[in-house]
Amino acid sequence: MPDSYAIAVLPGDGIGPEVSREAIRVLRASAEAFGFGLTADEYPVGGAGVDAVGDPLPPATLDACLAADAVFLGAVGGPDWDRVAPERRPERGLLRLRKALGAFANLRPVAVPDALVPRSPLRTDRVSGTDLLIVRELTGGIYFGTPRERTEAEAFDTMRYSVAEVERIARVAFEWAERRSGRLASVDKANVLASSALWRDVVSRVGADEFPHVALEHLYVDNAAMQVVREPRRFDVIVTGNLFGDVLSDLAATLPGTLGLLPSASLGGPVGLFEPVHGSAPDLAGRGLANPLAAVLSAAMLLDALGQPDAAAAVRQSVERALAEGTVTPDLGGTATTEQVGRAVARSLSPATASPAPSHV
């Protein structure tokens, strides 16, 4: 019997349903081309969950995610839910989902394909050849730390990390560095934050004790941000906390000149969560203008996680063909619609033309 996988699809809000539709189209084409089974059932999340049952993460959605082999999410949020109670904001549903799945490690690869080098805001000689991986801790830090409170007079949040939380994300990052070039940059603010001082000490110890062959460097987050822009090719794998990873990964997203090409995977528990980096872009919703390639590349990461690396490689190669042929949406200078791009990628999938799967994201 061939392998078969159940995918929980959470289209979400704004352009989420449109890009999710194309990602699932590509996943179905991959299953047909490479001979495995796949089911994909949709559930509400984010603003769609609030509208459906008053909860950004409905219990039925969470149950389906926990029972699936993988979860694919489109995007959440938008101005329609700006005035709901804080605990009902679409983004809170996403944070709760990550926590429930145990998805503590967020992988965000950032590469600049040759076809997009001219579109980067950086000079060609600086950005050409960029291929880095940001490993962001996802379930700790200031987004989850307690106590947190807001009164009329003040507000405060708590940036908190345990040794165990830092150890486990450090190991993920070191393992990826071993698979790639053997270089890891750890980003913190150890000169002023006690939580960052702990972070630096723990990452250093894990490296020395368990990964002595990986070259480790430490950077303060402000310097790291400058270096990502000035010299992105100096980086291979970057590991950092939740807040700093949120900022740095969005900054790095400018390197290829569009958020529409950047996928992500959130791993650590028994079920992985895969989603494009971009937001819900409500101004583009329903117009056929949304770039689905970040969602499609997130689907490729999903295939990797399910143990289908050849199918994942074929998807990435199909995306590269679409870029080289100019079958792209207006954000990349093309005239294709969201659906036309998705269909072009799905149509060109073939085991016969796929190169062997690469050894890294």
**Which tens digit of pLDDT belongs to each residue from 103-112?**
999 999 999 8
Which residues contact residue 270 at a Cβ distance below 8 angstroms, ignoring those fewer than 6 apart?
102
Q: Which of 80, 157, 250, 310 is catalytic?
A: 250
Beta-bridge mates of residue 137: 105
Q: Please state, as a whole number, how many other Cβ atoms lie within 10 Å of the Cβ of residue 221.
A: 20
The predicted pLDDT at position 137 comes to 97
From CA 227, how far away is CA 121, in angstroms rounded? 15
The predicted pLDDT at position 114 comes to 84
Q: Which of 41, 114, 201, 222 is catalytic?
A: 222
The predicted pLDDT at position 115 comes to 82
Tokens of 94: 């996403």
Q: Which of 13, 43, 69, 143 is catalytic?
A: 143
Q: Which residues of 12-36 are buried (b: 16+ CB within 10 A; e: fewer)?
A: bbbbbbbbbbbbbbbbebbbebbeb
Query: Would residue 304 show up in a list of annotated catalytic residues for this protein?
Result: no
The predicted pLDDT at position 237 comes to 98
Longest dimension (CA), the chain: 65
Q: Where are the domains of the chain?
A: 1-107+258-361, 131-254
The predicted pLDDT at position 2 comes to 59
Bond from prior residue into 147 cis (ω within 30 degrees of 0): yes
Q: Which of 13, 43, 188, 189 is catalytic?
A: 189
Query: Would residue 189 show up in a list of annotated catalytic residues for this protein?
Result: yes
The predicted pLDDT at position 361 comes to 60
What residue type is 26 in one-letter code?
V
The predicted pLDDT at position 353 comes to 54
The CATH code that applies to domain 131-254 is 3.40.718.10
Query: Would residue 283 show up in a list of annotated catalytic residues for this protein?
Result: no
Per-residue pLDDT reduced to its tens digit, 125-163: 888 989 999 999 999 999 989 999 999 999 999 999 999
Beta-bridge mates of residue 149: 156
**DSSP tag of 356:** P
The predicted pLDDT at position 351 comes to 67
Q: What is the mean pLDDT of the chain?
A: 93
Query: Would residue 143 show up in a list of annotated catalytic residues for this protein?
Result: yes
From CA 253, how far away is CA 259, in angstroms rounded? 6
Element (H, E) at 28: helix 16-34
Per-residue pLDDT reduced to its tens digit, 186-241: 999 999 999 999 999 999 999 999 999 999 999 999 999 999 999 999 999 999 99
The predicted pLDDT at position 1 comes to 42
Query: Would residue 250 show up in a list of annotated catalytic residues for this protein?
Result: yes
The CATH code that applies to domain 1-107+258-361 is 3.40.718.10
Tokens of 209: 């004790």
Q: Which of 3, 131, 157, 246 is catalytic?
A: 246
Two domains, one topology: 1-107+258-361 and 131-254:
yes
CA angle 38, 44, 49 (to 5 degrees): 165
Name the one residue in this structure whose structure tokens are 């190991």: 171
Instruction: Tell me if residue 100 falls in helix, strand or coil.
Output: helix
From CA 45, how far away is CA 62, in angstroms rounded? 9
- Tens of pLDDT along the chain (361 residues)? 458 999 999 999 999 999 999 999 999 999 999 999 999 999 999 999 999 999 999 999 999 999 999 999 999 999 999 999 988 999 999 999 999 999 999 999 999 888 888 888 888 888 898 999 999 999 999 998 999 999 999 999 999 999 999 999 999 999 999 999 999 999 999 999 999 999 999 999 999 999 999 999 999 999 999 999 999 999 999 999 999 999 999 899 889 887 788 999 999 999 999 999 989 999 999 999 999 999 999 999 999 999 999 999 999 999 999 999 999 999 888 999 999 999 999 999 876 555 554 544 6
